[in-house]
Amino acid sequence: MNKTHYKARKIKVLLSFAAIVTSICIGFMFVSSFNQVKALVKSSNSGNNNKLSFHDLVHQGSPFLGKRSAAITIVEFGDFQCPFCDRFAKETEPQINQTYIQTGKVNMLFEHFTIYGPDSITAAIASQCINEQGKFWNFYNILYNNQGSVNSGWANKDNLKKFASKIPGLDTQKFNSCLDSGKYVSLVQNDLSFATSLGLQGTPAFIIEKSDGSTPELLPGAYPFP
Amino acid sequence: MNPAALQPIILSTKLVLSKWPYIILGGVVTTIFWIIFNVFDQLLFFSPVVTFYLPDNAVAGFIISNITAVLAGAVISMNLYVIRHSKGLKTGIVSLFSGSSMSVLSSTCASCSSLGFLLISTFGGLGITASTFLTNYQMPLRVISILVLIWAYYSISRKLTSSCVLYYDSSTKKYS
């Protein structure tokens, strides 16, 4: 009898433990999301919001889409290996582009948040080399259309050169030498540090703000088109 | 499949689902798991407004996560029934835990989520390896977790129904 009671109590303890772990998981999801928003608001209030301004980010080399004069800026923090970034690129981005970017209401910037590993970094560097020639968004689509298993080598230098050769009008020699030289390694590292300093914890993440970097709003995740 | 093998499942399901508290418990657990899976899958968002959407490339994962959520709800409900009503019976806690924890883990696109980020920032290279594995083998892991939960459901059903069977010993002419 005692043994049965002991077992039942043990199971109850285990189930309580499971309930607590589940609650912690849900709590963690909400708290981490709250912390990201908090970090952004803090950054904005401390007068550092110019570091998020469209002008500054473009000046630092971030690829952009749309008119410079647009009042609203969307900053995408993405990784070319992230399946959810791929989903955003295929499902939501074309609709945002058509509705808001092409009409001049919004412009969009891309920041590299390379949290996946080696292939992410190589792909990010390659995309910056392409950006030198103003073809970043073509490459953006090509990379997501050819996304492979994480760190499987799908984004090694040889493959990236093959992808780049599909872009009409690209100076491939210039691109190849840029990629081989690792010219944008530090830019990609800086982007990662920047995203981390904002408290971002996953990809994709979006900041929607006025183009001067004020009133930033964070959207963590591959949201659908509203 | 042998229909006799399904008998314990049908009997035990009828037994447990005849009581409202266990239906409600199963429903609550299923809902909690459904929310967790869909938040991790970036299909369900709570802010700035509650949003749910299902793009074409997420349909397979959504179906699998629904099956897992329902199974987890059913198995937990059944385990609690066993704890309360069948003294001396062992519950399928180990298979339940391994099935549900594996399904939660694999439903996370480890590298995309804050959980994956935590993993990578805490464990560095090892974290990258772990999150790469979870991301690349997400679907097979989810299928395995469903199989483990089915096994948990089946084994607890058998235990629940077999306890009602009386064995007749013809030599002693007694039931045991």
Q: What local confidence, expressed as pLDDT, does residue A33 receive?
A: 57
Cβ–Cβ under 8 Å, residues A225 and A95: yes
Higher-pLDDT residue of B102, A216: A216
Q: What local confidence, expressed as pLDDT, does residue A226 receive?
A: 86
CA angle A35, A38, A41 (to 5 degrees): 155
Q: What local confidence, expressed as pLDDT, does residue A66 receive?
A: 96
Judged by a CB distance cut-off of 8 A, whether residue A31 touches chain B is no
Q: Which residues in chain B have their CB less than 8 angstroms from residue A28's CB?
A: 114-115
Residue in B112, B119, B135 to test binding to A, most A beta-carbons within 10 Å: B112
Judged by a CB distance cut-off of 8 A, whether residue B66 touches chain A is no
Q: What local confidence, expressed as pLDDT, does residue B132 receive?
A: 82
Check CB contact under 8 Å for A90 and B48.
no
Backbone phi, psi, residue A209, to 5°: -150, 170
**pLDDT at position A10 over 70:** no
pTM of the model: 0.80
- Report the range of poorest mean pLDDT among A78-87, A213-222, B152-161: B152-161
Residue in B29, B30, B42, B119 to test binding to A, most A beta-carbons within 10 Å: B42
Check CB contact under 8 Å for A83 and B116.
no
Confidence of residue B128 (pLDDT cuts 50, 70, 90): confident
Q: What local confidence, expressed as pLDDT, does residue A195 receive?
A: 92
Cβ-Cβ pairs closer than 8 A, A with B, add up to: 94
3-state secondary structure of A76: strand
Token pair in block for residue B42: 């970036």
Check CB contact under 8 Å for B79 and A28.
no
Q: How far apart are CA A98 and CA A102, in angstroms?
A: 5
Confidence of residue B2 (pLDDT cuts 50, 70, 90): low
* A142-172 pLDDT tens trace: 999 999 998 999 999 999 999 999 999 999 9
Question: Which among A91, A116, A152 has the least Cβ separation from residue B111?
Answer: A116
The number of domains in chain B is: 1
Superfamily assignment of A48-220 in CATH? Glutaredoxin (3.40.30.10)
Mean pLDDT computed over B106-126: 63
Q: What local confidence, expressed as pLDDT, does residue A172 receive?
A: 95
What's the 3-state SS for B101-133? HHHHHHHCCCCCCHHHHHHHHHHCHHHHHHHHH
**pLDDT at position A213 over 80:** yes
Question: Which among B36, B76, B135 has the least Cβ separation from residue A25?
Answer: B36
What rounded mean pLDDT belongs to chain A? Answer: 86
Residue in A4, A13, A15 to test binding to B, most B beta-carbons within 10 Å: A15
**pLDDT at position A117 over 60:** yes
* B20-79 pLDDT tens trace: 888 998 899 899 989 988 988 889 999 888 999 999 989 998 999 899 889 888 888 888
**pLDDT at position B165 over 60:** no
Residue in B104, B111, B126 to test binding to A, most A beta-carbons within 10 Å: B111
Question: Which among B104, B112, B132 has the least Cβ separation from residue A151?
Answer: B132
Judged by a CB distance cut-off of 8 A, whether residue B87 touches chain A is yes
Q: Which residues in chain A have their CB less than 8 angstroms from residue B79's CB?
A: 11, 15
What single string gives the DSSP state of each residue in chain B?
--HHHHHHHHHHHHHHHTSHHHHHHHHHHHHHHHHHHHHHTTSEE-SSS-EE---GGGHHHHHHHHHHHHHHHHHHHHHHHHHHH-TTPPP-HHHHHHHHHHHHHHHS-TTTSHHHHHHHHHHTHHHHHHHHHHHHTHHHHHHHHHHHHHHHHHHHHHHHHHTTPPPEETTTTEE-
Range of the domain at B161: 3-175
Distance from CA of B168 to the nearest CA of A (A): 26
* A27-66 pLDDT tens trace: 655 555 555 555 665 665 565 556 788 889 999 999 999 9
Token pair in block for residue A23: 């609650």
Confidence of residue B11 (pLDDT cuts 50, 70, 90): confident
**pLDDT at position A127 over 90:** yes
Q: Which residues in chain B have their CB less than 8 angstroms from residue A91's CB?
A: 55
CA angle A134, A62, A98 (to 5 degrees): 65
Cβ–Cβ under 8 Å, residues A143 and A123: yes
Among candidates A116, A139, A142, A110, which has minimal Cα distance to A126? Answer: A139
Check CB contact under 8 Å for B111 and A32.
no
Helix (H) or strand (E) holding A193: helix A185-197
Tokens 């952009």 appear where? A64
Q: What local confidence, expressed as pLDDT, does residue B166 receive?
A: 58
Distances (CA, A) of B129 to A99, A115, B44, B136: 39, 12, 27, 10
Q: How far apart are CA B142 and CA B58, in angstroms?
A: 14
* Interface confidence (ipTM) of the complex: 0.77
